[in-house]
Amino acid sequence: MTWNINSLRLRMGLLAELVEATRPDIVCLQETKVMDPDFPAEDCRSLGFPHIAFSGIKSYNGVAVLSRRPLGDIRIPQRCERADARHLAVRVEGIDLHCLYVPAGGDIPDPEANPKFAHKLAFLDDIAAWCGHHVDADAPAMIVGDFNVAPLETDVWSHRQMLGVVSHTPVEVAGLAGFQRSAQWLDAVRHFIPPSERLYTWWSYRSSDWTKNDRGRRLDHIWVTPALADRLSGAMVLREVRGWGKPSDHVPVILDLTEAV
């Protein structure tokens, strides 16, 4: 499961409900918004995850992996030469697992006028180059998280109206495509939910009634290398979680894999 939780300590109760309802083996979190000394490790262990890895900074960003299975080779790669807690890598059950939080990019889709957007584009180029050198497409690997790009026309509520909005602009979509090509990543969710079907994982807090307007975007993704393709067994987006009390603006995404032979 991957989920941009938008403050782990604020939504620990929601995480507990979610874990009870879905019983995932591994949970990858983004925007934990907690410094490492304050990470609620014991609370996470009490949910049934004895193996934990995390990387955080004050007030924003932050990534974590909670696992029922042992974690090894824990790494915190830096993207764009910044120690800003956006990438966490672990090895679990023979799979290299990467939890990633791509910068949102601000509101203005112009890298000259908006340094945040320039950083987002640089980040996508950086992670693509890194995967090209460090991820073997013939070996089992997964990269999951909030990529902050909705690449397909059916990943946004209106392709025409969103073309000039950060998260669906052509330059971001091209950057994400380069990232995906870097290790021949397969979009595991769209493997089960066809690209012709509208699918969202995020709805703005600004909407007075997110269910009525349904102006969503698919920003959260799970990709796998071709080596894991034959182990894919199911995927789902837990849309209903957006309607829970004090929710994140993102909802969890789940991928099921069969056990290795």
**List of domains in the chain:** 2-257 (3.60.10.10)
pLDDT in the model for residue 261: 78
- Cβ burial, residue 64 (10 Å; 0-12/13-18/19+): buried
Distance CA 36, CA 30 (A): 14
- Residue 139, CA distances (Å) to 73, 117, 200 in order: 16, 33, 29
Find the distance separating the first CA and the last CA of the chain, reported in whole Å: 22
- Cβ burial, residue 112 (10 Å; 0-12/13-18/19+): exposed
From the first residue on, what is the mean pLDDT of each consecutive set of 10 residues in the chain (261 residues)? 98 97 98 98 98 96 98 97 97 98 98 98 98 96 98 98 98 98 98 98 91 94 98 98 96 96 78
Answer positive or negative: Cα dihedral of 166, 172, 176, 182: negative
Assessment of whether the complete model's pTM goes beyond 0.75: yes
For 110, other C-beta atoms within 10 Å of its C-beta total 12
pLDDT in the model for residue 209: 87
pLDDT in the model for residue 207: 82
Tell me which residue has tokens 């089992």.
140
